[in-house]
A and B are shown apart, each in its own frame.
Chain A
Amino acid sequence: MLTQEEIYQKVREVLVDALAVDEEEVKPEATLVGDLGAESIDFLDIVFKLEKTFNIKIPRGELFPEDILTNPEYVKDGKFTEAGLAELRKRMPFAELDQFARNPLVQDFANLLTVRDMCRFVELKLQQQEGQASA
């Protein structure tokens, strides 16, 4: 199993490569969309590169559970409901949601993920994979 530092370095390389940003810009707290300028198509590239780098499988909707956005139980008047936030916490255990939950506007959802979240996402995937392999 890779250490957190090793995961961070590799995630950084992926983001530098996919987003054509400088290594110094890729800080743990940087948001992918707002700070690093990721566009929707870049997430496809990032997912492909993470899969290859870490030898993991990332099904659609795992990094960004977009289906939640179209569910009226989870989103009302452009805001996530309590049930929606609970679902986000369940589906995105890797993401830091506390600050977002204070004013959970759908328009801010796309800019939620940080470099740190991406590292945690990879870490959880690797743990899952290891769990499956030893089960």
Chain B
Amino acid sequence: MRWYWIDRFIEFHSGRMARAIKNVSLAEEYLHDHFPGYPVMPNSLVIEGVAQTGGLLVGEYNQFRLKVVLAKVPHAKFYCEAVPGDVLTYTATIEHIHPHGAVVKATSHKGETLQAEMELVFAHLGEEFNDRELFDPGTLTHMMRILRAYEVGKAADGSPLKEPPEESA
């Protein structure tokens, strides 16, 4: 089982912007206790979903050859709660990309309403982590496939997004 906090991509523009949706459902166990009788999606899980949207965008830019980790959340502001039945749309835009990581600005919307906005800093792990695996080989491509990124995605030149030839662990 993997830790999925988005349901599918609806847009994916390589190296630039990705948009994903998250359906908040009472079938998800965490809502049963958070809080008893008053189910609210924890803000930290919204951040996780946004980070997955942005992290896959940053990882795909280098065809998943670099190990991308969420390093810092410099800002996150929440304007309203996400509750069962809501459909959240996460939009992640690459602000700056660097050999050592990237800065992503992102929003979460409930319909037209801004639910949250945040900034995320991702780091590319250095050579000292070469001997450590974060994921099994192919995991991220598999995740992209399940989230339908290759169905909606566009490469930088506007052509359909293709799966990378190989993915490092």
A48 touches B72 (CB 8 A): no
Name the B residues within 8 Å of A17 (CB-CB).
Answer: 74
Task: Check A51/B71 contact, CB under 8 A, given A41-B123, A44-B121, A44-B123.
Answer: no
Name the A residues within 8 Å of B99 (CB-CB).
Answer: 59-60
B162 at the interface (CB under 8 A from A): no
Encode contact with A along B95-127: 1 for CB under 8 Å, 0 otherwise: 110111111000000000000000001010010
- Could you tell me the distance between the alpha carbons of A41 and B101 in the complex, rounded to whole angstroms? 11
- Could you tell me the distance between the alpha carbons of A48 and B74 in the complex, rounded to whole angstroms? 12
A44 touches B72 (CB 8 A): yes
The residue in chain B whose Cβ has the minimal distance to the Cβ of A20 is B74
Name the B residues within 8 Å of A76 (CB-CB).
Answer: none
The residue in chain B whose Cβ has the minimal distance to the Cβ of A60 is B100
Q: Is chain A's interface secondary structure helix, strand, loop, or mixed overall? A: helix
Q: A24-56: which have CB < 8 Å to B? A: 41-42, 44-45, 47-49, 51-52
A41 touches B71 (CB 8 A): yes
- Could you tell me the distance between the alpha carbons of A17 and B95 in the complex, rounded to whole angstroms? 15
B74 touches A44 (CB 8 A): no
A44 touches B96 (CB 8 A): no
B96 touches A48 (CB 8 A): yes
The minimal Cβ–Cβ distance linking A42 to chain B, given in whole angstroms, is: 7
A69 at the interface (CB under 8 A from B): no
Name the B residues within 8 Å of A126 (CB-CB).
Answer: none
Name the B residues within 8 Å of A112 (CB-CB).
Answer: none
Name the A residues within 8 Å of B96 (CB-CB).
Answer: 48-49, 51-52
A41 touches B98 (CB 8 A): no
B98 touches A47 (CB 8 A): yes
The residue in chain B whose Cβ has the minimal distance to the Cβ of A18 is B74
- Could you tell me the distance between the alpha carbons of A49 and B95 in the complex, rounded to whole angstroms? 10
